[in-house]
């Protein structure tokens, strides 16, 4: 049978990463964020009052929703108007999330929809808009069939989750950049995996979750790829976002995802790998269905 202590810790992790759905979350007090009549996010209760200061950009809260003003009727106008508001709020420096200014992210109702605007990544939690990324499970299969996985240890200077274990390569999807292109770029930049090898990675699933914390709502969906790496290949530190790489037996990796040493969403990506490759099975894992459901929570 499964280790009940391990199972409970993983279940707690999944609940934490989906706490926006749980009773007692501030979801009931959030405002729908609407653009051109479509909901594209959730505005937390502490953010909505700030937006009323900008009546040329945001309509007053009405019927549980905050909408962009109808006059902002193009991708460019919306993006520039919201960015001007965010730049002002950034200068005021009381929203801590805005201190980590980084990339432009596309905003859309569904990933397959044309984006309605772009938004600075650091601000996405203020509007609960869906963020997308790519994550790579890099693994090896030994001569006797034993599976091991490459893990990265994040740099201690990383803005988020410094020093924690991570997938061998991962990154956010910037506006206008393709999924496979992003994966190959992250492989090269973070782990020095050549494009000729990275191109062999194949998409296998998405892992989706929504959590809240003091900075807002984080609605995320990760495109997951698997890549069997050659036994004689060793990732190398590239752009400085990673401190080191480790090749570990899959059972050891399984133990590690239940610890505080693992970046939470990356632990979810590994959990999905363990389920898909039958290292976790429904006959022996009592929370099997809970695990599967929690890996694919979408609003």
Q: Are residues 198 and 69 part of one domain?
A: no
Provide the Cα torsion 87, 91, 94, 98; round to 10°.
Answer: 40
pLDDT tens string 229-264? 999 999 999 877 889 999 999 999 999 999 999 999
Q: Beta partners for 220?
A: 131, 209
Rounded-to-integer distance, Cα 172 and Cα 190, Å: 13
Residues 256 and 153 in one domain: yes
Residue 160, in any domain of the structure: yes
One domain, residues 78 and 161: no
What pLDDT, in 10s, does the model give residues 200-235? 999 999 999 999 999 999 999 999 999 999 999 999
Confidence at residue 205, expressed as pLDDT on a 0 to 100 scale: 97
Residue 156 has pLDDT above 60, yes or no: yes
Distance CA 111, CA 177 (A): 13
Residues 157 and 267 in one domain: yes
Q: Note whether 212 and 44 are within 8 A (CB).
A: yes
Give the range among 36-40, 157-161, 201-205, 287-291 with minimum mean pLDDT: 157-161
Domain that holds residue 87: 26-129
Residue 1 has pLDDT above 50, yes or no: no
102, 141: one domain: no
Total tally of structural domains belonging to the chain? 2
Overall pTM > 0.85 = yes
Burial class (CB in 10 A: 0-12, 13-18, 19+), 99: exposed
User: What is the model's pLDDT at position 299?
Assistant: 66
């Amino acid at each position: 049978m499964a280790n009940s202590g391990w199972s409970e810790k993983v279940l707690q992790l999944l609940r934490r990463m989906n706490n926006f759905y749980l009773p007692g979350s501030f979801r009931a007090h959030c405002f729908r964020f609407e653009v051109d009549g479509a909901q594209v996010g959730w505005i937390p209760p502490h953010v909505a009052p700030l937006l009323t200061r900008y009546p040329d950009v945001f309509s007053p809260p009405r019927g549980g929703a905050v909408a962009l003003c109808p006059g902002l009727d193009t991708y460019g106008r919306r993006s520039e108007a919201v960015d001007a508001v965010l730049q002002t709020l950034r200068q005021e420096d009381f929203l801590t999330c805005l201190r980590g200014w980084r990339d432009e992210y596309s905003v859309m109702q569904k990933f397959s929809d044309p984006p309605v605007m772009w938004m600075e990544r650091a601000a996405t939690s203020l509007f609960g808009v869906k963020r997308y990324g790519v994550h790579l499970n890099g693994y090896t299969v030994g001569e006797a069939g034993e599976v091991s996985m490459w893990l990265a240890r994040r740099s201690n200077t990383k803005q988020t989750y410094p020093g924690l274990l991570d997938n061998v390569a991962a990154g956010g999807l910037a506006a206008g950049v393709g999924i496979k292109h992003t994966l190959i770029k992250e492989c090269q930049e973070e782990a020095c995996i050549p494009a000729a090898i990275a191109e062999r990675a194949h998409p296998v699933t998405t892992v989706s979750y929504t959590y809240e914390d003091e900075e807002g709502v984080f609605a995320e969906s990760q495109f997951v790829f698997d890549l069997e790496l050659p036994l004689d290949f060793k990732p190398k530190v590239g752009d400085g976002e990673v401190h080191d790489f480790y090749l570990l037996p899959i059972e050891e990796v399984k133990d590690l995802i239940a610890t505080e040493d693992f970046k939470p969403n990356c632990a979810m990506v590994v959990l999905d790998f363990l389920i898909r490759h039958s290292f976790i099975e429904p006959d022996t894992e009592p929370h099997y269905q809970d695990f599967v459901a929690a890996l694919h929570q979408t609003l």
